Chains A and B, each alone.
Chain A
Amino acid sequence: MAEGARAAGGGKAEAALQGAAAYLPFAGRHDEGFDAAGRVRPHWARLAGWIDEAGPRAVEAAARELARLRDESGIAFTSRAAPLAPDAADPVPVVLSAADWAALELGLAQRARLAEAVIADIYGPRATLREGLIPPGLVFGSDAFAAHAAGWETPPARFTLVYEADVARGADGRWMILADRLDAPLGDGWLIANRIATSQALAEPFVDFGVRRLASHFARFQDLLDSITGWEGRLALLTGGEGDPRYFSHAYLARYLNATLVEPADLTVREGAAFLKTLDGLKKVDVLLRGVPDRRIDALHRPRSAAPGAPALTVAARGGGLVMGNAIGTAVMAYRALAPYAHVLCERLLGEPLMIADAPCLWLGDAAARAQVLDELPFWRIEPLTGGASPDRPPALPDDPAAPLTGERRDRLARDLERTGEAFAAVATPPLATSPVWSGGRLAPREWMMRAFANWTGEAWSVAPGGVAATVEPGCPPPALGFGKDVWVLPDPAAPAPDEPGSLLAARLAEGHLRRTGRDLLSRVADEVFWLGRNAERAESVLRILSVCLRRYLSGNRIDADPGALAELLAIHARGDDRPPSAARLRETMLRLACDPDEPEGLVPTLGALRSGAVRARMSISEESWRYIDRLSADPRWRAKLDFRASGEIARLIEDALRSLAAFAGSAQENLTRNFAWRFLEMGRRIERGTQIARVVSRIAGHQRAHEESFLRALLTYSDSASAYRTRYMMVPTPAAVMDLLILDETNPRALAFQLVQLEAVLALLPSDSPYRRPEHRRALALLTELRLIEADRLVATGPDGGGSARPALAALMARCRADLAEISDALARAYFAHAEAPVALVSQGRSGETR
């Protein structure tokens, strides 16, 4: 079928018109898809046609698929709560014609140039202030101005590498700027993730329409970054961490651009440059994409608002050793600070008229503006001028902005605005253009706006062809960025596509990947991965004890299910309990271990720690490994109150959990390259398993018991070694044989000796500063050798000093194993995680001074 045949005429376009016959654009309001008479616009005809042809069920299936894909990528990168826009279920993209896009693209590129020019002037010659183009209070009246970034001998080559804007169309169809995002934007991750999901869920129309791709835009940005870092240089993306609402985007974008994802405390500044704290020591960072606001990144120059552990990045940037995108200080023109004077600034600094006007905005440092806003208040929203973090002293806003403002309340607001007006803007969102959304089984018009993304590419700004759109309630501020509607830009039929073919790009990006992957493991992440290994083993130990006890409890066997014996087994992980053993007490203890958040070694805190550690180490473990942890910790059954009457359920839950942990272990073995991350995971795992074996063995077999055989069987079951024992010995368990299998046998993966063999092997791989083995390595080797020289019979011999029944050799060895493993763990922390320690502020200088 010829291009546009569906759109221009023929039966299918007619059908589209009929299907959309019920579509009624708002009177006097521009609509992206339909004209005032309700006729579909040419660039929307194909989508309307597709919707009509596919039918409501296909559209809703696409919506479900989209929701699933978003959820998946959300889970893949964060703690599952990637924010969803209210109408996220609506799969219908916003389609823009090539002509519409061209106008927007030019205007956004101009806006980005303008922002760069104004910011460079403010921190440099200040001509805009000297000439009175902008009032001083606009710059100096809020704490977004970064004094420590002003007046450098050599200013940064550029202040902005990334620019984002919230844009919308007015009722007349003209574009307008709702917000400039200049301080730590980096929302591109959502743009890409959203596009990937939408292009899969709506694969057929996406490919069929020839929607312009995003990849070449990011390839151009990547080229620029490569040209700054050089072949050997390092690119990092600074994020506020898991708690940052934009963490998803940061993680996603870092992976896309092959940047190391770092938090403020992962960086340190030495000799005028910034360095990553890695296991291999300090590694220079050449370019830092900044996803953390200005005021949070420098503990030396902005100690009052800096994030914990923030380094002195200003020193590195000022010394020329670090390029930042965006540079320190760009917050000063963020959100609405540019808006009130954008026209004059554009004429003066760029020598050209402003292409895209701003949504109505008044700067409240101006007395006339304050008076006007007080008179027209329901129309205006009062917001911090530079957005983001709120200034120190927000004005007391009226509780009900729609109510007329009179008397004392008006006076109070007037006084507040007079006191702090410079830091605030009054903004209004006029009626916006609508776009068709899928609602209630058909297309309906909704007001919409979008986030657009631009990157500097060395000579010009490149605007990503697309955006993240959201439908909005009339008059509301732009919503926080998250997943939203995709924006499709159609190719210009008259001009050849400016986008390079996808396969070429993929190849280029892959090259970048090969170059940088897996080199740096941040000290902080090594720490996290190490504890991930330990917590996984700890969870397994608790689950195994629970499993053994539950099975015995349900077995009814007089000896195995003896409350005294089971209480002893549970006490390995459960908190101390002096009550006499009884069936009721056992049930209570098992439930406590399974679902009480306050039980120190219980499953709830252990799985919680496992999961949050996995989130923080997310970039170093495989997606599959992460999913097993996520599935296990997020299993809703743990949170439901477990009921002992449904004991079969509980048993199944425990089995499932053990299987997830086994899958995680297997996946980590199979999917992690044997790099530093794997080594630390492995060491954490071996140290913890060794410690748990020593604990359990000394508790159960530390002395001779009345029904020894029953306890030894429990020990074998706990260690998953019952079948190994049977094949080897074909007889009832005896202490010496069991200890040989669980402690000394280097071929049994559940034996203590096996843990030490593995641990020693990994320790031997770690770099040493001297020709000798590192202390923790020597310690592991000594312990392993000691185990190799012991005979099982001597180990289980009962001695005189414990009243005849104690096994002093076994108890002493187990105690030493635990102590040595703890010491190895501490030594590792000192040697490799010390970089992760956070700096603290120096106490302040004493001040006094008077002559009385």
Chain B
Amino acid sequence: MIYEVTHRTVYDYAEAAAFSQHLLRLTPRETGDQRVLESRITVDPRPDALQPERDMFGNLAHAATVSRPHGRLEILAVSRVERQAPSQFIFEASSPWEDVRARATGAAAGPAPAEVAPFAFPTALTAASPAIEDWARACFAPGRPVLTAAAALSARIHAEFDYIPGATGADTLPAESFEARHGVCQDFAHVMLAALRAHRVPARYVSGYLRTIPPEGQPRLAGADASHAWVAVWDPVFDWVEFDPTNDLVPGEDHVTLAWGRDYADVSPVSGFVVGAGAQRLTVGVDVAPVPG
């Protein structure tokens, strides 16, 4: 399946901003199941520089600097991505979670790849509270295969949490959304990561898009899609396996991967700062359109 993904971010400022600097993580990355056919970012007004930087996780980010006065800033990222259905995994065949932990923390004989270890430890946005630990314990019975543990966590989040947009923010900690048992995809991913990393199981935060399929008989609404987030869990044999706790499914052809990191802070699509802008209004539109062919 080939998609054209359009991600438009518009900032309207109360006053003319004198200077702004942005970090854009809007270029989809290549994966085993995903090819990037084309990707471009345009910033209006035209930036002084759009400096690419590859981060330690392999994502391609761009640092944009706009130094001319502007009352409005538009960032448009358009990508063509070919997405394949992922392989099927037998979760029961994965390693016991204790073995995964031992590998990731360097306690076992065979060290984990250096690319895995950064994802094994809690970060500020994925720190478990005692309540999350207690809640998660049931999923980590001794010797349980790591991927079944992860699948159980995903299922429980889906079953026990309410999806309420706007109730949480970009800085909401997992302890808070767990307490409230509600949030959006980012919160669910952070709670799941907190539970996994409390057990030092390597797991990463994946940012991307989800194609929405309109109800039978209704037209597809452009711009109705959204940026999305889910989780990938590491197993020594299967490598990284993805879980979408928001929808309790294994991401497939409808998911387009943008970037991954330890938590939202590593991969937030658009961040930065502005000088002299006064109040800001943010408008975001995402469109994931299948390309016929």
Q: Which residues of A are interface residues toward B (Cβ below 8 A)?
A: 126, 129-132, 135-137, 139-141, 143, 145, 147-148, 150-151, 153, 268-272, 299-301, 303-304, 311-312, 315, 318-319, 365, 367, 392-393, 415, 419-420, 422, 834, 837-852
Contact = CB atoms under 8 A, between A and B. Distances in A.
A148 B49 CA distance: 19
Given A140-B117, A147-B118, A844-B169, 5 more contacts: A272-B49, A839-B20, A845-B270, A848-B226, A850-B228
B185 A846 contact: no
A136 B106 contact: yes
B269 interface: yes
B158 to A, nearest CB: 9
Interface of B: 9, 11, 18-23, 48-49, 51, 53-57, 63, 65, 67, 104-107, 111-112, 114, 117-118, 120-124, 127-128, 130, 133, 163, 165, 169-171, 184-186, 198, 200, 209-210, 212-213, 226-229, 246-247, 254, 261-262, 264-266, 268-277, 280, 282, 284
B124 A392 contact: yes
A830 B209 CA distance: 44
Nearest to B57: A147
A848 B120 contact: no
Contacts of A129: 106, 111, 114, 117
Contacts of B229: 847, 849
- Tell me what chain A mostly uses at the interface: helix, strand, loop, or mixed: loop
A104 to B, nearest CB: 33
B65 A148 contact: no
A130 B115 CA distance: 10
Given A270-B65, A841-B273, A849-B229, A300 B21 contact: yes
A312 B22 CA distance: 9
Nearest to A319: B51
B271 A844 contact: yes
Contact of A847 (B185, B247, B275): B185
11 contacts: A130-B111, A136-B104, A143-B123, A315-B21, A838-B275, A844-B169, A844-B271, A845-B170, A845-B271, A846-B227, A848-B184
Contacts of A301: 23
A143 B124 contact: yes
A842 B51 contact: no
A301 B19 CA distance: 17
A849 B107 CA distance: 37
Kindly list the 9 A-B residue pairs having the minimum CB-CB distance in the complex, ordered from nearest.
Answer: A849-B228, A136-B117, A844-B170, A150-B56, A151-B56, A135-B106, A839-B273, A849-B185, A848-B226
Contacts of B128: 419
A389 to B, nearest CB: 12
B246 A850 contact: yes
B246 A315 contact: no
A386 to B, nearest CB: 14
A157 to B, nearest CB: 18
B124 A842 contact: no
A126 B271 CA distance: 29
B247 A839 contact: no
Contacts of B274: 839-840, 842
Contacts of A415: 130
A139 B114 CA distance: 11
A762 B56 CA distance: 53
Contact of A845 (B117, B268, B280): B268
A839 B227 CA distance: 27
Given A153-B54, A849-B184, A147 B284 contact: no
Contact of B163 (A319, A837, A852): A852
B186 A847 contact: yes
A126 B56 CA distance: 12
Contact of A849 (B22, B48, B127, B210): B210
A129 B128 CA distance: 26
Nearest to A850: B246
A319 B111 CA distance: 33
Contacts of A834: 18, 276
A849 B247 CA distance: 9
A205 to B, nearest CB: 53
A135 B247 CA distance: 36
Contacts of B254: 851
A842 B170 contact: no
B58 to A, nearest CB: 8
Contacts of A367: 107
Contacts of B127: 392-393
A147 B273 contact: no
Contacts of B112: 136
A846 B104 CA distance: 33
B171 to A, nearest CB: 8
Interface centre among B254, B272, B280, by most chain A C-beta atoms within 10 angstroms, is: B272
B270 A842 contact: yes
Contacts of B49: 270-272
Contacts of A131: 111
B210 A845 contact: no
A599 to B, nearest CB: 32
A136 B114 CA distance: 8
A44 to B, nearest CB: 48
Contacts of A303: 265, 271, 273
B226 A147 contact: no
A282 B270 CA distance: 27
Given A844-B170, A845-B227, A848-B165, A300 B273 contact: yes
A270 B118 CA distance: 31
A393 B274 CA distance: 31
Contacts of B210: 849-851
B123 to A, nearest CB: 7
Nearest to A151: B56
A148 B226 contact: no
B275 A839 contact: yes
B130 to A, nearest CB: 8
B106 A132 contact: yes
Contacts of B171: 304, 844
B198 A419 contact: yes
Nearest to A143: B124
Contacts of A271: 48-49, 65
Contact of B271 (A300, A311, A365): A300
A764 B19 CA distance: 29
Contact of A844 (B118, B209, B212, B268): B268
A153 B53 CA distance: 9
Contacts of A304: 124, 171, 265
Nearest to A852: B163
B184 A847 contact: yes
A848 B266 CA distance: 17
Nearest to A147: B56
Nearest to A849: B228
Contact of B65 (A140, A269, A392, A422): A269
A300 B272 contact: yes
B106 A137 contact: yes
Nearest to B108: A132
Contacts of B57: 147
A268 to B, nearest CB: 7
A842 B22 contact: yes
A837 B275 contact: yes
B276 A845 contact: no
A48 B205 CA distance: 66
Contacts of A132: 106, 111
A668 to B, nearest CB: 32
B56 A137 contact: no
Contacts of B11: 842-843
Nearest to A303: B271
A843 B247 CA distance: 27
Nearest to B23: A300
B282 A846 contact: yes
Interface centre among B19, B63, B226, B280, by most chain A C-beta atoms within 10 angstroms, is: B63
A34 B284 CA distance: 75
Nearest to A315: B63
Contacts of B228: 847-850
Nearest to A268: B19
A139 B124 CA distance: 15
